[in-house]
Amino acid sequence: MKLAIVLGTRPEIIKMSPIIRECEKRGMQYYILHTGQHYSYEMDRIFFDQLKLPEVKYKLNVGSGFHGKQTGKMLAEIEEILIKDRPDIVLVQGDTNTVLAGALAASKLHIKVGHVEAGLRSFDRAMPEETNRVVTDHISDYLFAPTETSKNDLLNEGIPDEKIFVTGNTVVDSAYQNLEISKKSCNVLEELELREKEYFIITAHRAENVDDKKRLNGILKGLSQIYEELKLPVIFPAHPRTVKMIKEFRFEVPEGTRLIEPLGYLEFLQLLNGAKLILTDSGGVQEESCILKVPCVTLRDNTERPETIDVGANIIAGTGDKIIASVQKMINSSLNWINPYGNGNSGELILGSLE
C-alpha cells in the first residue's frame, strides 16, 4: 500500500505529523506532497524543523490568492503528480483549500481518499472551510472522525457507517508528543518576561473576522477591556493575514496587548500551557486549550468543535461586547473537564484502520 500525504498549511503540518511518524515507524511506503499554500518560514518550514519531519517529495508553490485561483492551481498540479506517482490512498487533514484540492484530484483519478478530522460541522456555509469539509467528506472513502459527535454528523448526511472510523484527533498525539520536548528545548515565558498563569493569549486569523473591519475592531476593543479590568498582559502571536489587515484598517494595537510574530509550535504549546486563558478563532487552538486544561473563549458565533463547549472548556463569545463577560466567566470556571479528543494514539488508529 502506497500513501500520499497532501498538506499545505500550518495546522495540517502539525496534525499530520503523528501520521507521518507512524508511517516511518511502520516502514510504510509513502510520500508528502506540499501545496505551498503556506510558505513564510514561521508558517511552514519551522514546523518541519521543530517536529523533525522528513523532506517533502513534491513541493508546489501555489501561494496565496482568491479561492478559485488558489484551489484550481493546486488541483491541476496535484493531479499531474498523482498521475506520475500514483498512490493507493491520498490522505488529507482538516478543512483548508489544500484539503479540497487534494481530495478532489484523487477522487477524479479513482484513487481512494482518506479524510483525517472528518465530520466537523459549524453549519455555517459562509465559512470557506465548511464548504471544504462537506465536499471532502462526501468524496472520501475513509472518514476518520475525531468523536462520536462528528461521526453522527456524517451519518446524518447519509454517509455509510462502514466508511467512518472514530479515532480521536491527531492534535492530541501531537500535543502529548511535543509538550515535554518543548519544556526541554525552550523557555518562552522567560524570553517574554511572563509569569505562569499571569497572562492571556489571543490568536485570530479567520477571514470572516480579520477581513471584516467591524469584527476585527470588536476583537481589539475586547482586548483593551481585558487589560483595563484584569491588568494582565495579552500576548498576540499574529497570523500574517491579521497583521496585514490591522495595517490596512490603520488600527492601533491596544495598551496591554503585545503583537508578536507567529511562534514555532514548541514555543506556542509552552505559551498556551502557561496561560491563564486563551482567546481564539482557531480550530486547532480550541482543541489544544481543551487538551492542556486552559480555558478558552472563542471569538466566533459558532464552532465545529462543540465537544469543547459541552465539557465546559470553551465558550462562544463572538467579536463584540460579550468578550469581556466571557473571559470573566471562564477564568472562574473549574478546570476538571475531560478531553474529548482521545488519548494520543490517533495516528496509530488511523494507520491501523488503513492497513
Asked if 281 touches ligand UD1 (CB under 6 A), the answer is no
The residues in 8-67 that bind ligand UD1, with binding defined as CB under 6 A, are 9-11, 37-40, 43-44, 64
To 10 degrees, the CA torsion angle through 167, 171, 173, 177?
180
Asked if 216 touches ligand UDP (CB under 6 A), the answer is no
Q: Is 160 exposed, middle or buried (0-12, 13-18, 19+ CB in 10 A)?
A: exposed
Going by the DSSP 8-state scheme, the letter that residue 148 receives in this structure is H
Closer residue to ligand UDP (CB): 31 or 200: 200
Nearest to 94 by CA among 105, 85, 86, 102: 102
**Residue 240: contacted member of ligand UDP, ligand UD1, none (CB under 5 to 8 Å, by partner type):** ligand UD1
Neighbouring-strand partners of residue 201: 235, 278
Least distance from C-beta 86 to ligand UDP, angstroms? Answer: 29
Closer residue to ligand UDP (CB): 10 or 133: 10
Catalytic option among 34, 38, 205, 239: 205
**Catalytic (active site) residue 38:** no
Give dist(CA 347, CA 22) in Å, integer.
6
Show the cell assigned to 283: 480550530
**Among positions 169, 282, 303, 314, the unique one binding ligand UDP when judged by CB under 6 A:** 282
Element spanning 351, H or E? helix 346-354
Asked if 241 touches ligand UD1 (CB under 6 A), the answer is yes
**Total chain residues near ligand UD1 (CB under 6 A):** 20
CA angle at 308 for the pair 197 and 220, rounded to the nearest 5°? 55
**Residue 40: contacted member of ligand UD1, ligand UDP, none (CB under 5 to 8 Å, by partner type):** ligand UD1
Cβ–Cβ < 8 Å for 280, 289: yes
Alpha carbon separation from 36 to 32, 43, 75 (Å, rounded): 12, 10, 13
Asked if 146 touches ligand UDP (CB under 6 A), the answer is no
**Among positions 6, 7, 8, 10, the unique one binding ligand UDP when judged by CB under 6 A:** 10
Least distance from C-beta 171 to ligand UDP, angstroms? Answer: 6
Give dist(CA 1, CA 13) in Å, integer.
22
Identify the three-state secondary structure at position 339.
coil
**Among positions 50, 93, 97, 314, the unique one binding ligand UD1 when judged by CB under 6 A:** 97
Closer residue to ligand UDP (CB): 294 or 327: 294
**Among positions 35, 96, 147, 308, the unique one binding ligand UD1 when judged by CB under 6 A:** 96
Closer residue to ligand UD1 (CB): 11 or 254: 11
Cβ–Cβ < 8 Å for 223, 202: yes
Asked if 174 touches ligand UD1 (CB under 6 A), the answer is no
Nearest to 209 by CA among 124, 280, 134, 272: 280
Residues at the contact surface with ligand UD1, assessed by CB under 6 A? 9-11, 37-40, 43-44, 64, 95-97, 128-129, 205, 239-241, 244
Residues at the contact surface with ligand UDP, assessed by CB under 6 A? 10-11, 14, 203, 205, 237, 262-263, 265, 268, 282-285, 288
Query: Which amino acids are annotated catalytic?
Result: 205
